[in-house]
Homo-oligomer: A and B are copies of this chain.
């Protein structure tokens, strides 16, 4: 119950342990096609360019920027936690011109600040923001922010590593040009794979580049020749076959539950956790309006050694909860209710383990 990796469902673990077949085997190609379809369903998109990447979420972030940003391109990055700051670092390394819109940790991205940045920088090409900030437990209003960016002629990049399948996300309706996520949060897959989708506008931007994408491994055009070829797929890299078995199973489980039902289950378990934490006098850092149900950031009471509590619940109850990052280090715990972990027995275990540890 940390900020991820989350508990992996036994069905997913079992799928991952099936014998490895070739990454160009006809049966594997069928699996790839099914994964693409299921991913579109989870992202709520019709984007043709929707695929898993053979590397974790950090690489998906890099893929988003590496494909859309050329040296000299102006990029507005909204920062309200660790992952916004990491986006900014990516823009710098791509040789982009970085404009930042900053909000305090624990607050969502402020649409008025983005509006001002768009007015000051009418030549901006891309607006990037984090949907579900894993470092703070805050959900930003992606729909409103992306509408503003699109009205100003920008492409939009949205990090939903912690968001996908845990909270409402609608790639097409919300005008997101590139969204990416990870397997190890609300999909309850082992970490190591990421998921990305590019709109037609984003794909057109990649096709029209003046310079090659600086990363060969993350170059969308090369990846799509493997993921979207007709008949014989072009060899790019060797896909992580067993991880794809696991991803396929996890996406199938989301499909069986229904994506809206998955969102609802996360909300429901979040409410139950809040009630339990309230009973033992623990309070939340983030205002009710912006809270992520799947990532609960709790204030450490005064005088408590937070690391000792985490060690206690790990050693006594086999329960992991997360520490704070950055400015939140030492001040908060991060309690995940992600995917398979979002169920009643975990809520009960967590609140009672904390109750005992805090005695």
Contact = CB atoms under 8 A, between A and B. Distances in A.
A57 interface: yes
Contacts of A213: 93
A242 B58 contact: no
A25 interface: yes
A55 B217 contact: yes
Interface string A81-125: 000001001101110000000000000000000000000000000
A215 interface: yes
B212 A214 contact: no
Contact of A191 (B23, B86, B214, B217): B23
B58 A216 contact: yes
Interface string A204-218: 000000001111110
Contacts of A20: 5-8, 13, 184, 190-191
Contacts of A241: 5, 190-192
A233 to B, nearest CB: 12
Interface residues of A, number: 54
A184 B235 contact: no
Contacts of A94: 214
A93 B214 contact: yes
A349 interface: no
A327 to B, nearest CB: 14
A357 B44 CA distance: 47
Interface string A6-33: 1110000110111111110100000000
Nearest to A8: B20
A191 B238 contact: yes
Contacts of A236: 58
Given A20-B191, A55-B54, A190-B20, A93 B216 contact: yes
Contacts of A8: 19-20, 242
A19 to B, nearest CB: 7
12 contacts: A7-B19, A23-B191, A55-B55, A55-B56, A56-B237, A58-B217, A90-B216, A190-B242, A191-B239, A191-B242, A193-B240, A240-B243
Given A5-B238, A55-B55, A62-B216, 11 more contacts: A5-B22, A8-B242, A13-B17, A22-B320, A54-B56, A58-B217, A86-B216, A93-B216, A94-B214, A184-B238, A193-B240
